[in-house]
Amino acid sequence: MKAKEIRALGNEELKKQLEAAHKELFDLRFRAAAKQLKNHREIPRVKKDIARLKTTIRERELGIR
């Protein structure tokens, strides 16, 4: 997800997306440990998505944007 797309979401939708991203990261790590992950670059992509989501949530808490 792009930062623009994330900022367009509502607060509840942000929390749902964050929860889904954490679940996806868990699944990717599990598949990597079981040697079933074909594209290992998925893990850093999901981590960056989580960081973007958390950053947007924090910006809203502080009233920056």
Instruction: Give tens-digit pLDDT for 23-64.
Output: 999 999 999 999 999 999 999 999 999 999 999 999 999 998
Map out the domains of the chain as residue ranges: 3-62
CATH top class, domain 3-62: mainly alpha
This prediction has a pTM of: 0.90
**Res 3: pLDDT:** 87
Nearest C-alpha neighbor of 1 from the set 14, 30, 32? 14
CA distance 32 to 39: 9
16 pLDDT higher than 70: yes
